[in-house]
Structure 1
Amino acid sequence: MSIDRICFSHWLLTALLVAPVVADDVQLTATTATASVDEVATWPQWRGPSQQGIAPNGDLPSKWSEETASKIQIPGNGGSTPVVAGDRAYLTSGVEGANTLMAIDLNEKKIAWQVTLGDDRGNKHRKGSGSNPSPVTDGRFVVAYFRSGDLACVNADGKKVWSVNLQEKYGEDTLWWDLGSSPLLVNSMVVVPVMQTGPSYLVALDLATGELKWKADRNTGAPEEAAQSYSTPLAVNVGGREMIAVMGADTLTLNDTATGEEIARMGGFNPDAEKYFRSIASPVAEGNLIVCPYSRGATLTAVDMEKLAAGAGRDAIVWHRDDIGSDVPTPAMRDGIVYLISDSKNNKGTVSALAGQTGKTLWEVSLPRSRVSYSSSPLIAGDQLMVTGEDAVTAVVGPIGAEANAQVVSVNEVADSDQYTVASPTPADGRLLLRTKSFLYVIGE
């Protein structure tokens, strides 16, 4: 056994000994395999390692069908996008009334293990479930969050390390619809946003032990449903200082990553105090620039975070558009270009590329006409963009870039008998994962 593996075994044993809760309800459906330190979390959280929706390896399949893809049946009901470490994908589902986290062996094409982490709660909306937030993983630990308030960590063998119920600890959930915010993995911490009618906050826990690192109130005064948000935080670096950016409840906030201290906030995203401007799409950031969808997909606002942190308030706005946006899908961003799929009734199915510094439209591509909408977020893969509809049909657009002559390269269907999907396409070491309501498709080998 190598020194690295000996050190890892000692480290993992120590983590288990200090864990506040030990699992006794792990359900195995296949032989488990111990994770090694050589495994890398290539897609550690929703929107990937940079949180910009960029595949680390751009060489992904661009054309597929039911016949060319493998699929694993997923029990229960959930909409979480998978995360990936090594040859394992992790996702959540409500199975027979229980919050369930499962590991999928991408080589064997089967569920390696599944573990129960509380009682399922959700299904208030046809797109929702109690298991919509994506897990996070560093390859050694996996943390899952559920609508019930259960936040729990397991090791790579599916053994529970710690758990806490945020609602029991900090107050009942008041969201009108099912939870959508995914945890953020940053600096060996898990950060969870709770933005709702009533007390709202950010909370950070130690990844390995579940120890509370900090809790920061986030009350904004937004009216009724506008106070509720389903977006996910971003880890950003502003002027050399690590911060957490959160968009929701009519407000953009910046908090210090280490302490939780609020550094800056900017309101005004809802000047007419509309009661129902709940926020679903998350922002996307590159450098000091953060681009924030809002107003149910009617507006898009770019903000200079360094100016905001310095106290500029709304003078930190770089540009604002009220003729384009995205209500549910989160934009992707690379090399100063913002890519988004419109899901509004008037512009549904339009892929747009915008210049990040000016907001100017560089090009647009209309996807094939469809009755369905878009809840999945787009994925940048090399010189192409992948966009999945709620019917699990994925359009590939390319080439992308500032001066590209972009067009629809392919339209790919799978034959899920219940094709409703809200999960985003996920890269996995040259393969593409597509989670529908009933299956996890593994595309490319």
Structure 2
Amino acid sequence: PGKHRNGSGSNASPTTDGESVFVYFKSGNFAALGLDGKIRWQTNLVEAFGRDTLFWDHGTSPVLTEKFVVMSRMHHGESWLAAFDKITGALKWKTARNYETPMENDHGYSTPLVIRYENKQALLTWGGEHVTIHDASDGKLLWSCGGFNPGGGKNWPAVASPVVIGDVAVVAFGRSDRGSPLLYGVKLGNSKEPASTNHLWMRTDTGIFVPTPAVWKKHIYLLRDRGEVECLDPLTGKTIWSDAFPKSSANYYGSPLMANGKLYAAREDGAVFVANVAEKFELLSENQMNERIIASPVPTGQRLLIRGEQNLFCVGKD
């Protein structure tokens, strides 16, 4: 069971390279399974590195690089980023990632991004009030950016993952659900200037807390917890348009999905919406799955997978 009514022991999304499926559970169990469901290797990161001190349930998902499967833990205590061999599960590198912050701001539920940085594969990670870039081959810190909390706010964990367009990362901080949003645009610097507090722009009037933004055609799409949708220019942070899905007492916890100019969003009460956002916001459909949905929709070919509380739905044309 989860600490939060919307949490569970399996918050982390599985990931696959087409040969193995990599999974993580809040018990610490971390494993690779074949496509036949047989366990190829299994380890326990709680036993290896200690129990997390997160106030809520673990939410970070494993990510794949060219060589490794990577996990991270951001909490009050020894925070880290670690890479494991895809075939054997052996630890290949582990790097500390510790920052002093106000209460709970060192807690992280976001997932690292795999990016290209200075002609190499790298991991962009958000948490502890810092964006960091690490060499994917050995975990070496290449660049970091702080300065995200000038007012010293607290109880602001990193939940939504950042998104990157070109050399700009858009980072959500603060608590939009409590009237204190912060949204930043950060230009990714170079490793010759490894520490930065420079931001392209900052917004204090808009932001997100849980859903990670979507990216499409050089625009950023925010889905706030109560269904407001906003399209932004990532270079300036300026709002291009804003609108909303139908009002409800239910929240949005899953991240929005963009496909062919259409935005898909699942609400916790089981409603799944589709909107055309190619030019402006136009609601196309509302579908009720009749069970709670916390997870994000996932595309596969011309179909959509939706994980409900009890069932896995596949939506598409016959």
Shorter-chain TM-score bucket reads over 0.9
**In the alignment, which residue of structure 1 is the partner of 2:211?**
329
Q: Which of 118, 124, 138 is the matching residue for 1:259?
A: 138
Indicate if the aligned counterparts of 2:67 and 2:137 stay in contact, CA closer than 8 A: no
**In the alignment, which residue of structure 2 is the partner of 1:313?**
196
- How many equivalent pairs are there? 313
**In the alignment, which residue of structure 2 is the partner of 1:33?**
none
**In the alignment, which residue of structure 1 is the partner of 2:220?**
338
**In the alignment, which residue of structure 2 is the partner of 1:393?**
271
Task: State the one-letter code of the partner of 2:187.
Answer: D
Shift of 1:307: 4.6
**In the alignment, which residue of structure 1 is the partner of 2:165?**
286
**In the alignment, which residue of structure 1 is the partner of 2:25?**
146
2:315 corresponds to 1:443? yes
**In the alignment, which residue of structure 2 is the partner of 1:102?**
none
2:261 corresponds to 1:383? yes
Q: Which of 215, 233, 238 is the matching residue for 1:355?
A: 233
Paired with 2:217 and 2:118, the residues of 1 have a C-alpha distance of: 19
**In the alignment, which residue of structure 2 is the partner of 1:165?**
44
Paired with 1:349 and 1:392, the residues of 2 have a C-alpha distance of: 13
Paired with 2:236 and 2:310, the residues of 1 have a C-alpha distance of: 41
Indicate if the aligned counterparts of 1:242 and 1:257 stay in contact, CA closer than 8 A: yes
For the aligned residue pairs, the C-alpha RMSD in angstroms reads 1.5
Task: State the one-letter code of the partner of 2:186.
Answer: V
Q: Which of 277, 287, 295 is the matching residue for 1:423?
A: 295
**In the alignment, which residue of structure 2 is the partner of 1:434?**
306
Higher relative contact order (CA 8 A, sep 6+): 1
Alignment of 1:185-334 (within 5 A): 185-297=64-176, 298-307=181-190, 310-311=193-194, 313-315=196-198, 317-334=199-216
Q: Deviations over 1:111-152 (max 9, x none)?
A: xxxxxxxxxxx4111110010000111111111001011111
2:255 corresponds to 1:373? no
Paired with 2:153 and 2:7, the residues of 1 have a C-alpha distance of: 23
Task: State the one-letter code of the partner of 1:433.
Answer: L
Alignment of 1:65-144 (within 5 A): 122-144=1-23
Indicate if the aligned counterparts of 1:183 and 1:190 stay in contact, CA closer than 8 A: yes
Shift of 1:223: 2.7
Task: State the one-letter code of the partner of 2:255.
Answer: S
Q: Deviations over 1:83-131 (max 9, x none)?
A: xxxxxxxxxxxxxxxxxxxxxxxxxxxxxxxxxxxxxxx4111110010
Paired with 2:201 and 2:190, the residues of 1 have a C-alpha distance of: 14
**SS where residue 301 of structure 1 aligns?**
strand
**Structure 2 unaligned regions, length at least 5:** none
Task: State the one-letter code of the partner of 2:256.
Answer: P
Shift of 1:424: 0.6
**Structure 1 unaligned regions, length at least 5:** 1-121
Indicate if the aligned counterparts of 1:151 and 1:163 stay in contact, CA closer than 8 A: yes
Of all paired residues, the percent bearing the same amino acid is 39
TM-score, normalised via structure 1 length: 0.68
TM-score, normalised via structure 2 length: 0.94
Larger Rg: 1
Shift of 1:253: 1.0
Paired with 1:262 and 1:394, the residues of 2 have a C-alpha distance of: 40
Indicate if the aligned counterparts of 1:201 and 1:215 stay in contact, CA closer than 8 A: yes
Higher strand share: 2
**In the alignment, which residue of structure 2 is the partner of 1:39?**
none
**SS where residue 227 of structure 1 aligns?**
coil
Indicate if the aligned counterparts of 1:239 and 1:306 stay in contact, CA closer than 8 A: no
Q: Deviations over 1:255-285 (max 9, x none)?
A: 1111101112222222233331111111111
